[in-house]
């Protein structure tokens, strides 16, 4: 894994490239700790990532949830689609247009109803 770092007054951007594997887990962990505990907004861009191993996916998940708990949310962009559900423990919609159908079923309070 290679990291290119840019920063400005209130934002830190980390551009990752290559494979995230056992050789790069320690570097990833240090990067994530810096991002989560930064006083600035942190953005991690995965556009040029070709592989993420299982342990690193767990690290990314833990860092994301820690950032939420600390109210210093990190932004992860351009994550390869096949890794999104493992990082965020979610199911991807096969039909993104279905979102508009769900909105029709939600009440005034925004709670989805009648969704199977």
pLDDT by residue (tens digit) across 60-102?
999 998 998 998 889 999 998 888 888 887 655 555 555 555 4
Q: Is residue 62 part of a domain?
A: yes
Query: Residue 37: inside a domain, yes or no?
Result: yes
The total of structural domains in the chain comes to 1
- Cα separation, 90 vs 93, in Å, equals 9
Residue 115 lies in a domain: no
Residue range(s) defining the domain that contains residue 6: 2-105
User: Rounded CA gap, 70 and 103, in Å?
Assistant: 30
Q: Is 107 helix (H, G, I), strand (E, B) or coil?
A: coil
Residue 13 is predicted with a pLDDT of 95
Q: Provide the b/e sequence for 38-60 (b: ≥16 CB within 10 Å).
A: eeeebbbbbeebeebbeebeebb
Q: Is residue 54 part of a domain?
A: yes
Residue 57 lies in a domain: yes
Write the CATH number for 34. 3.30.750.24
Decide if pLDDT at 103 tops 60: no
What percentage of residues in the chain have a pLDDT greater than 70?
76
**Torsional class of 91: left (φ above 0), alpha (ψ -120 to 50), beta (otherwise):** beta
């Amino acid at each position: 894994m290679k990291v290119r770092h840019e920063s400005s007054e209130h934002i830190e951007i980390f551009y990752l490239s290559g494979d995230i594997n056992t050789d790069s887990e320690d570097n990833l962990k240090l990067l994530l700790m810096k991002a989560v505990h930064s006083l600035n907004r942190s953005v991690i861009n995965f556009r040029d990532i070709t592989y993420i191993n299982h342990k690193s996916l767990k690290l990314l998940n833990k860092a994301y949830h820690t950032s939420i708990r600390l109210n210093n949310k990190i932004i992860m962009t351009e994550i390869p689609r096949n890794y999104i559900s493992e990082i965020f423990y979610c199911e991807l919609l096969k039909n993104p247009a279905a979102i508009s159908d769900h909105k029709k079923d939600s009440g005034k309070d925004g709670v989805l109803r009648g969704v199977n």
